[in-house]
Amino acid sequence: MLKEIISRLKQGHRTIDFPSAGIKLSPRFMGLPEIKCDACGGNCAKCADICPTGAIEITAGKPVLDMGRCVFCGKCAALCPGVFKFGADYKLAASKRGDLLLTGEVVKRAETLDASMKKIFGRSLRLRVVSAGGCGACEADCNVLQTLVFDLGRFGVQFVASPRHADGILVTGTVTQNMKLALRKTYDAVPAPKIVVAAGACAISGGIYAGHPETAGIPEDIPVNLYIPGCPPHPLTILDGLLRLLGRIE
């Protein structure tokens, strides 16, 4: 027992400060894409051809990168480093699907819920995670948020087992045909008003499975309040998005 106590004392305080300017991520982390449209001639479209998820389109001679489709493989940056670069900024979540389309202009981050919703959920949010055909990576990063390093509960946000006890759902995975009904039933079981979060490229756009007949996607009549890009999203990206939605970060 003494050994355990000494070990705990040596480990010290492991919970990170958040938000904090002092957060250092791995140099391998690929965060917010920075696009230099002016450096692009716009006439080869090789970046669009090489992208495995069709996340890049050439519009009016300039590349547009859809963060909701991007799996952060880095192929575009390796092909054309003068135009595409992935920075260390983990703040990627957005409130509108269209805000994930990057053109090299100002990035629109997630907005706070409207006043009435913020009053209800701003200090306490319970989410039921629906793993709707995910590979386990987005789910793992959600689980990590509940560890002592991130300590999601200190912000008043918790993942719960029953949709009846939840204020909303957090969807991961492409929503396969087999999970369509389960997603619908879970969504319907959450009392209104409710929140929907799409976490990861698969939930947002189908990711690398987009267009596959087994990929149903989140139905249009289930309105999404928060889109969290990534494959998978970093736990800090999820945390930042949730806290922005609740108005805890501006």
**Tokens of residue 191, six digits:** 């009392």
Of 73 and 224, the one with the shorter C-beta distance to ligand SF4 is: 73
Q: Which window, 45-53, 94-102, 214-222, 235-243, contacts ligand SF4 (CB under 6 A)?
A: 45-53
> Which residue lies nearer to ligand SF4 by CB, 155 or 227?
227
- Compute the distance between CA of residue 216 and CA of residue 178 in angstroms, rounded to an integer: 9
Alpha helix positions (H), the chain: 2-11, 46-50, 75-79, 115-121, 137-144, 177-189, 201-205, 235-245
The amino acid present at 37, given as its one-letter code, is C
Which residues, including other chains, have CB under 8 Å from residue 63's CB and lie 6 or more apart? 35, 37, 40, 42, 47, 48, 56, 57, 83, 84
Q: Closest separation between CB of residue 18 and ligand SF4, Å?
A: 26
Interaction with ligand SF4 in 127-166: which residues (CB under 6 A)? none
User: Restricting to residues 185-244, which ones interact with ligand SF4 according to CB under 6 A?
Assistant: none
Q: Which of 40, 56, 142, 245 binds ligand SF4 (CB under 6 A)?
A: 56
Residue 201: CB minimum distance to ligand SF4, A = 8
**Does the footprint of ligand SF4 cover residue 37 (CB under 6 A)?**
no
Token code pair at residue 120: 């209800």
With a CB cutoff of 8 Å and minimum separation 6, the contacts of 249 are 19, 240, 243
Of the pair 75, 108, the CB lying nearest ligand SF4 is at 75
Tell how strand 62-66 and strand 84-86 pair up: unpaired
Q: Of the ranges 47-55, 96-104, 130-138, 150-158, which one interacts with ligand SF4 (CB under 6 A)?
A: 47-55
Which residues, in sequence order, are bridge partners of residue 159? 127
Query: Residue 174 corresponds to which amino acid?
Result: T
Give residues 67-86 in contact with ligand SF4 (rule: CB under 6 A): 70-76
Q: Is 57 or 111 the residue whose CB approaches ligand SF4 more closely?
A: 57
Binding test (CB under 6 A) with ligand SF4, winner from 55, 170, 236, 249: 55
Binding site residues, ligand SF4, CB under 6 A: 50-53, 55-56, 65, 70-76
